[in-house]
Amino acid sequence: MHDNSPPPMPPLFTWEFASDPYPAYAWLREHAPVHRTALPSGVEAWLVTRYADARQALADQRLSKNPVHHSEAAHGKGKVGIPGERSANLMTHLLNIDPPDHTRLRRLVSKAFTPRRVAEFAPRVQELTDRLIDGFAGRGEADLIHEFAFPLPIYAICDMLGIPPEDQDDFRDWAGMMIRHGGGPRGGVARSVKRMRTYLAELIHRKREDLGDDLISGLIRASDHGEHLTENEAAAMAFILLFAGFETTVNLIGNGTYALLRNPGQRARLQDALAAGDEGLLATGVEELLRYDGPVELATWRFATRDLTIGGQRIAEGDPVLVVLAAADRDPERFADPDALDLSRSDNQHLGYGHGIHYCLGAPLARLEGRTALATLLRRLPDLRLSVDPEELRWRGGLIMRGLRTLPVAFSPEP
């Protein structure tokens, strides 16, 4: 007798799942590619795991980003979205709105957050990277999350926005609070977000009087040229740039370094290329690290504005849909040998930065930070190695982001 029933579904949202969700995602892609499940918060949502469905869903304008379209909007208050954003009145940001508001705000911020601004920022990112490595290079050991991956993006985005250096450590603390409690107690986070909002509103106010070269001044200037950005929208924009720009990049550096340490052959290739002055492999390599174990496990919330089907599955109006980027990016229908890390992978249209109108605005900055951080680490600490058993590492169990809590490493101290 032949048993045709599928193997049982691996559990979702457990500790085991957090450390390696890929077997569960392979199961879902194969047996239940559009799957309704209860999330840890109790909210029910559809998980979309195949690449073709995921890409289509990300670009589908019948799926709204605005939580008012959630069928549980009235009683599921506060359970979707970024912790604290409601109480701090920061809801009108890019990841919560649809066209035409989204089109207007995105056009505005794109005028200020230009590829040129990012390119000009490269020396500053290099300087920040070296300063952080200086802090531990002589010691022979470090926790790369706390001492490197976490502070780098927060200082970088604070600098770019024009937050004065003396206030940046407050942002570091607020950011730490958001990361630590992202999926946990919401009271402290809400307070923290409120304080951040008050600070940003005051800063925007001050900058209006005294415009500089920074991104917040750029936003204010852009809005003076015909289009309108309310104070609330400006604060929400600064907030989403901070929020979307830090934990993601922390995890690009953390997950990326970890993947390199676990794949010595690939890491050696990259080190050799860098030593020969060839940055090509670094560029394709950072893209591959995003595909292989990207920071954003699930794209942010989407809600069906009418009954529709995805991958043959009927979705009812008001249902939340979560596109599982991490699952789509390992889909064997799209990527050859998807579970292998190949830093020179060329056919690599991964969804790590999303797709469609909400495609990551900060991708050029993230790439700059990722490349600078990884290349500088490998150049300065060439014998970098994990100093604990990988089994001992703990992953954060948040819903949207995927990243390590700590990454203890050892290396020969710099003289």
How would you classify residue 31: left for phi > 0, otherwise alpha for psi between -120 and 50, otherwise beta?
A: alpha
Q: Which two tokens stand for residue 301?
A: 């919330």
Q: Which two tokens stand for residue 25?
A: 């995602």
Question: Which residue lies nearer to ligand HEM by CB, 92 or 411?
Answer: 92
Whole-angstrom distance, CA of residue 306 vs CA of residue 318: 7
Find the shortest distance in angstroms from Cβ 317 to ligand HEM. Answer: 20
Whole-angstrom distance, CA of residue 401 vs CA of residue 247: 8
Q: Provide the sign of the torsion angle of the four alpha carbons 38, 39, 44, 50, taken in this order.
A: negative
List interacting residues with ligand HEM (CB under 6 A). Answer: 58, 94-95, 106, 157, 240-241, 244-245, 248-249, 252, 290, 294-296, 299-300, 352-354, 358, 360-362, 365-366
Question: Which residue lies nearer to ligand HEM by CB, 33 or 81?
Answer: 81
Give the nearest residue (CB) to ligand HEM: 362
Find the shortest distance in angstroms from Cβ 179 to ligand HEM. Answer: 14
Question: Which residue lies nearer to ligand HEM by CB, 34 or 215?
Answer: 215
Q: Provide the sign of the torsion angle of the four alpha carbons 221, 223, 224, 229, taken in this order.
A: negative
Q: Which two tokens stand for residue 163?
A: 């937050």
Please name every residue paired with 48 in a beta bridge, in sequence order, or none if there are none.
34, 323
**Rg of the chain on CA atoms, in Å:** 21
Question: Which residue lies nearer to ligand HEM by CB, 58 or 137?
Answer: 58
> Among 226, 185, 149, 174, which residue's Cα sits nearest to residue 406?
149
Find the shortest distance in angstroms from Cβ 367 to ligand HEM. Answer: 8
Find the shortest distance in angstroms from Cβ 255 to ligand HEM. Answer: 9
Find the shortest distance in angstroms from Cβ 295 to ligand HEM. Answer: 4
Give yes or no for a contact between 232 and 92, defined as CB atoms under 8 angstroms apart.
yes
Find the shortest distance in angstroms from Cβ 28 to ligand HEM. Answer: 19
Whole-angstrom distance, CA of residue 20 vs CA of residue 9: 14
CA 303 to chain centre: 20
- Residues near 105 by beta carbon (within 8 Å), at least 6 away in sequence: 93, 94, 97, 229, 233, 237
- Residues near 121 by beta carbon (within 8 Å), at least 6 away in sequence: 156, 159, 160, 365, 368
Find the shortest distance in angstroms from Cβ 138 to ligand HEM. Answer: 29
Find the shortest distance in angstroms from Cβ 413 to ligand HEM. Answer: 29
Question: Which residue lies nearer to ligand HEM by CB, 15 or 359?
Answer: 359
Question: Which residue lies nearer to ligand HEM by CB, 352 or 411?
Answer: 352
Question: Which residue lies nearer to ligand HEM by CB, 109 or 137?
Answer: 109
Find the shortest distance in angstroms from Cβ 391 to ligand HEM. Answer: 26
Question: Which residue lies nearer to ligand HEM by CB, 137 or 377?
Answer: 377
Question: Which residue lies nearer to ligand HEM by CB, 179 or 366?
Answer: 366
The distance between the two most distant Cα atoms of the chain, rounded to a whole number of Å, is: 80
Q: Provide the sign of the torsion angle of the four alpha carbons 137, 138, 141, 142, taken in this order.
A: negative
- Residues near 100 by beta carbon (within 8 Å), at least 6 away in sequence: none
